[in-house]
Amino acid sequence: MIFRFLLLLSILILPIVGIVVYGRYLLGRWLNSFEQKQPPKQITQKLVKCAYCGTFVPESQAYPTQDGYYCSQEHTKL
């Protein structure tokens, strides 16, 4: 009787354990793909156009003025 009960219990529990393990595996894969997609967005910088010559330069290297962005200090004076 106890053997039958354990057999029935294992039949019921095994699929649940399988679903939980597979669910965690899928969740881990989903989180990994999410983390791998994030860094490129942070690396790519916003490009700004020089108001004088039209050259695109990263915003961190550009010279911002009231008229807009410039690629070099000389172009801000022109």
Q: Which residues bind Zn ion (CB under 5 A)?
A: 50, 52-53, 55, 71, 75
Q: Between 15 and 54, whose beta carbon lies closer to Zn ion?
A: 54
Q: Between 48 and 71, whose beta carbon lies closer to Zn ion?
A: 71
Shortest Å distance, C-beta 43 to Zn ion:
24
What burial class does residue 75 get, using C-beta atoms within 10 Å of its C-beta: 0-12 exposed, 13-18 middle, 19+ buried? middle
Q: Between 39 and 69, whose beta carbon lies closer to Zn ion?
A: 69
Coil, strand or helix at 56: strand
Integer Cα distance of 59 and 39 in angstroms = 18
Shortest Å distance, C-beta 31 to Zn ion:
43
Shortest Å distance, C-beta 55 to Zn ion:
5
Integer Cα distance of 18 and 10 in angstroms = 12
